[in-house]
């Protein structure tokens, strides 16, 4: 089966998105469960906007934080958020920002993240 060029580039991009969570898990930082993924492309196949949501289970960063400092009143998984933001921004070739909406470091049962392009955040992050 031969893919047209544009289909091929989308296939490659979708494959790339799956590798980020895999790398996280291989490094033993966390277990990733993605609950939402949507992406829109411009007519030139560049990424127009992206919206992903999911959970980080057993975040190593949150567990270490709690051991050392106890419960936080703000999310603590800066490495996970930074890694995800950097990874997605690189693939999309535009700024994608992740933030945690719940965090094990705050006493929540797991960490939940939302990642969107700046436009999807309403221009404010
Ligand atoms: Zn967290």
Residue 20 is predicted with a pLDDT of: 72
Residue 10 is predicted with a pLDDT of: 67
Q: Is the dihedral of CA 69, 26, 116, 38 positive or negative?
A: negative
Residue 26 has pLDDT above 90, yes or no: no
Ligand 1 mean position, distance from CA 98 (Å)? 12
Structure tokens at 98: 């992740």
For residue 110, the SS3 value is coil
For residue 40, the SS3 value is strand
Nearest-10 crossing angle of helices 78-92, 60-69: 150
Q: Distance (Å, rounded) from C-alpha 102 to C-alpha 11?
A: 31
Mean pLDDT of the chain, nearest integer = 87
**Percent of the chain's residues with pLDDT above 70:** 84
Ligand 1 mean position, distance from CA 46 (Å)? 31
Ligand 1 mean position, distance from CA 118 (Å)? 21
Ligand 1 mean position, distance from CA 85 (Å)? 14
Q: Are 79 and 29 in contact (CB under 8 A)?
A: yes
Residue 19 is predicted with a pLDDT of: 74
The model's pLDDT over 62-117, given as tens digits with 9 standing for 90+, comes to 999 999 999 999 999 999 999 999 999 999 999 999 999 999 999 999 999 999 99
């Amino acid at each position: 089966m031969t893919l047209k060029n544009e289909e091929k580039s989308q296939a490659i991009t979708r494959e790339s998105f799956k590798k980020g969570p895999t790398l996280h898990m291989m490094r033993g930082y966390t277990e990733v469960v993605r609950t939402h993924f949507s992406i829109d492309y411009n007519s030139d196949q560049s990424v127009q906007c992206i919206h992903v949501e999911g959970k980080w289970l057993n975040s190593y960063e949150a567990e270490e934080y709690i051991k050392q400092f106890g419960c936080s009143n703000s999310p603590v998984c800066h490495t996970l958020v930074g890694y995800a933001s950097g990874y997605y921004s690189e693939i999309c070739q535009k700024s994608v920002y992740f933030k945690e909406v719940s965090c094990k470091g705050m006493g929540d049962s797991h960490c939940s993240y939302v990642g969107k392009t700046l436009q999807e955040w309403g221009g404010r992050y």
